Amino acid sequence: MSKRWVLKDAADDSTVQQLSAALNISPILSALLAHRGITSFDEAKYFFRPNELHLHDPFLMKDMEKAINRIEQAIANREKVMIYGDYDVDGTTAVALTYSFFSKLYDQLAYYIPDRYKEGYGISNQGIDYAAENGFTVVIALDCGIKSVDKIAYANTRGVDFIICDHHLPGDELPAAVAILDPKRQDCDYPYKELSGCGIGFKLIQAYAEKNDLPFEDVAEYLDLVAISIACDIVHITGENRVLAHLGTQKINTNPCIGVKMLMEVAGKTKDYTISDVVFLLGPRINAAGRIDDARHAVELLIACHEDAAREKGDMINIRNTERKGHDLQITEEALSVIDNNAALIARKSTVVFNENWHKGVIGIVASRLTEKYYRPTVVLTRSNGHVAGSARSVLGYDLYEALCGCSDLLIQFGGHKYAAGLTMKPENVPAFMEKFEEVVSTTITDDLLVQQITIDAELELKDIDSKFYRILTQFSPFGPENMSPVFISKNVYVSGNAGLVGGNHVKMFIMQPGSAAFSCIAFNHAEYLPLLKNNVPFDVCYTIEENIWRDQRTIQLNIKGIRFK
C-alpha cells in the first residue's frame, strides 16, 4: 500500500536560531525541539534532563486527599482492602504496583482481577459480591470504574467503599464512590491529563508516601511497572509521562523488579530496552496471561519476591504467549480471507468481521493487523457469554469512539479511546451494526485519512549524521505517541555495494550521498523495491536513526520507512 509523505511545516526561524546558539546544536535539532513546543534554554534543559523533581504534586489531583484519608482510616481500623484492576497490561501493572507498595505496610490486603470471559471489562457485580462476602470494606479500583455508575451504586448497598483510579473519559454522571482519581474529570485541575491507569496508581502511592513521610525510594522501586504501562497502553509520552517513562526504562535497564527481570529473560533480551522493546517483547507476554488463561498469573509474576517462583510464572506466561501467537495468526488469516474474497467488503471504508468461534482474547490484536492491511477503522467481533464482543481500532486522525457513539443504539456497552475501543452487543444486532458502522464512518471520514501517512520532521543530508548528532537525538527519547522518533528525508541517495534480502521480506543495504559515508540501512517489508535498488539509480528515503547492536558492537543504522524513485 502506497503511503503519503508529509513534511511538517518549518519551525519558526528565530526560535530555531536562538535555540541553536543557546544549546550549541544544529538547526535541525533545534527545529525538532521547536516542533515539540520547546522555545528556550530552560525548557530544553527540562526536556533533556527529566528527573523526579519534575513530577507533579499528587495532591493537585481532585479527591486525592479523600482517597488517602480513606486508606489511612482502613489501615487504622484493620479493615480488609482489595486492589481491583483490569486484565490488560495497564491494569495488571497497576494492581501489582499498588498491592506491592501497600503489602509492605499492611497485611489485610488482597487483589482481584475480573475474568476476561466470565465478567468482562471493568468493575463487575461478581467482584463486588466477592468483596462483600469476604469482608472487604474498601476496594481500590485501577484502570477502570469511571463509568461504573450502576456498579458503584450496587457496591454502596453492600457496604463496600470504592476508590476509583482511572484515566478514561468520564461519562455525564460520575459514580458515587468515596474518591475518584481521574485527571480527565472536568473538575480536576491536575496539570497533566494523559497518565496511564498504572500512572494514577503511582500518584496514589506517591501521595500516601508523602503524607506518611516515606522516602521517594519506596515509591521509585515501582517505576519499571509504570514505564511498562505507559508503553503498552499507548498513552502520550509527553510531560509527566515522559519523566515516568524515562525513569522507568532506566530502572528496567539497571535494576528491574524480579518479575520484570524474568520476563526479560524469557523474551530473550536482558538489556538496552527502549519503549518499543517493552511494547513488542514484554507487553504481549503480560497480556497473554489474561488473553489465554488468567491475568492473575501476570500479577503473581510482577509481585514475585523470589526468583524461582518468578521464573516458573515467567516460563508459563511465555508458553501462553506462544499459544496466543497461534490463535492470532490463524484468526488473522481467516479474517483476511473473508475480506479478500468479497469485492463489496474491499470497497468499504470500514472493516467489520464476525466469527462466533474466534478466540476473544486475541481479537484486539487481529483488529490491529487488519487495520495495518486495509488501513481503515476496523471492528473484529466474536461470541462471548451469550453476547457478541468486539475490539475496534482506528487510523490516524479518525475518532473511533465518536463513531461508536453514532452506533450506540445497537450496543449494550462500549468504551475506550480515540484509536482503540471495546464493545458488546446482542447477536441479532450484528448485521445492523455492520451497516450502521459503515454508514457512520463513510460519512465522517475523509479520503486522505484512509491513506497511511509518513510524517517527516526534516530534510537531512547524510553527511550531517555524526556521533554528536546521534548522541543529542537519543536524548529526545523515550519515544512514543506525541514524541515519536524523528523521521528524516534524504534525497538523491544511492545504494553502495549490493542490496539484499534478510528474513525473506526485508531489505538490507548501505546508502550514501556524494561526500557522505555509507550508512547501513534496514527496510522492513520493502522486498518489492529490491529489483529497483541499483548502484547508479538515485532515490529518496525517509527513515529514523537508530543504534544497531550486534555482538556488542554498536553502529548507527537507518530504519527505512519509505523509498521513492523519481
State whether the Cα torsion 287-290-293-296 is positive or negative: positive
Instruction: Please state, in angstroms and rounded to a whole number, the distance separating the CA atoms of residues 121 and 144.
Output: 8
Low-confidence spans in the chain with pLDDT less than 50: none
Q: Tell me the pTM.
A: 0.92
Q: Check if the beta carbon of residue 499 is closer than 8 Å to that of residue 507.
A: yes
Structure-block grid coordinates of residue 37: 513546543
HEC string for 374-415: HCCCEEEEEEECCEEEEEEECCCCCCHHHHHHCCHHHCCEEE
Whether the CB-CB separation of 499 and 533 falls below 8 Å is answered with: yes
- Write out the DSSP string of 316-357: HHHHHHHHHHHHHHHHHHHHHHHHHT-HHHHTSSSEEEE-TT
Q: 245 is written with which cell numbers?
A: 517513562
Cβ distance 461 to 513 under 8 Å? Answer: yes
Residue position matching grid coordinates 510482577: 302
For residue 534 the three cell numbers come to 541499483
Residue 239 and residue 55: Cα distance in Å, rounded?
A: 9
Can you give the pLDDT at residue 120?
A: 77
**Neighbouring-strand partners of residue 547:** 556
Residues 176 and 150 sit within 8 Å (Cβ to Cβ): no
> Each residue of 404-437: pLDDT tens digit?
999 999 999 898 778 889 999 999 999 999 999 9
